[in-house]
Structure 1
Amino acid sequence: MARVFIYGTLKKGQPNHWHMLNSTVGRAKFQGRGRTMEKYPLVIAGKYNIPFLLNIPGMGYHVTGEIYSVDDQMLQFLDEFEDCPDMYQRTPVRIEVVEWEGKSSAPEERPAVNSIMECFVYSTATYQPEWINLPYYDNYDSLGNHGLHYVLRKNR
């Protein structure tokens, strides 16, 4: 099992979260909430209003999101879904645990709040140069007050 940090449309309550629940593409288990240890620019870009975490550590905000434990099948699905490595690249990032819901038979395996863990994150180093000038967010919501509603793939 691998840990993945989700910050965009795959989070609970977002338009693509149903993929995380689809056992035909693999297993994903919600573990808790976290935020990036380093600051990153999270932007909403392109004509489909897609959230992108730009791989520029030290710029932007500590981005909040969800931590999942996923099996190899789900990790492969996510790589395909995120068009990895072309649009996004899957890289290890240090995440601070904000809230932990994951169950473990051994209490010592349960990370403490404020502890740091490494998770895979789908960020991009292959972005358009003008995206640096877009507004940065610390938390993505497709229906946020930014007015940039995400366009589902089936509607493109």
Structure 2
Amino acid sequence: MAKVFIYGTLKRGFPLFDKGMAGTSYLGDYQTVARYPLYIAQDFFGPVMLNQPDTGLQVRGELFDVPEDQLPTLDELESVGTPGSFRTTLEVEPVGGGERHSAICYFKDESWLHPLHSDHLSDYQDSRFIPPWQR
């Protein structure tokens, strides 16, 4: 199992959850230890988090145990392999305190910020996202 920190459209109740997170185990509400820039961007109003620690805000999300063989599905949903989209690890902690974990997180680079629809966010809750199958 791999720990994966989800902050956007793969969270419970969001459009990509059923496609990407079926068969995973929800571990709780977590936040990044460091601050990161999180925005709403692109024509499809997607959450975009940049791998720029100590910029932006602590980002809230959900931590899951994900079977290793499911990571390619998440990579596909997160466009890993296309320019500016990748995964790496970061440190997260439970909201309200507790044991820290290293977790996989999906990031984009600044090329994904056009057009930009928000300032820094700490908790993605936007409902304007257009899933890939509706674009």
Shift of 1:81: 1.3
Aligned match of 2:104: 120
Aligned match of 2:89: 92
Counterpart Cα distance in 2 of 1:66 and 1:37: 13
* SS class of match (1:127): helix
Aligned match of 1:31: 27
Q: Which amino acid aligns with 1:82?
A: E
Structure 1 gaps, min length 5:
100-112, 144-148
| TM-score after normalising by structure 2 | 0.88
Per-residue displacement from partner, 1:69-121 (whole Å, max 9, x unpaired)?
Answer: 0112211111111111324211110001227xxxxxxxxxxxxx422110000
Q: Is the 8 A contact 2:31 2:95 kept in 1?
A: yes
Shift of 1:56: 1.1
**Count of residues paired in the alignment:** 134
Shift of 1:126: 5.1
Aligned match of 2:13: 13
Shift of 1:7: 0.2
Q: Is the 8 A contact 1:88 1:126 kept in 2?
A: no
Shift of 1:125: 2.7
Counterpart Cα distance in 2 of 1:5 and 1:95: 8
The share of aligned pairs that are identical, in percent, is: 30
* SS class of match (2:95): strand
Which structure is larger by alpha-carbon Rg, 1 or 2?
A: 1
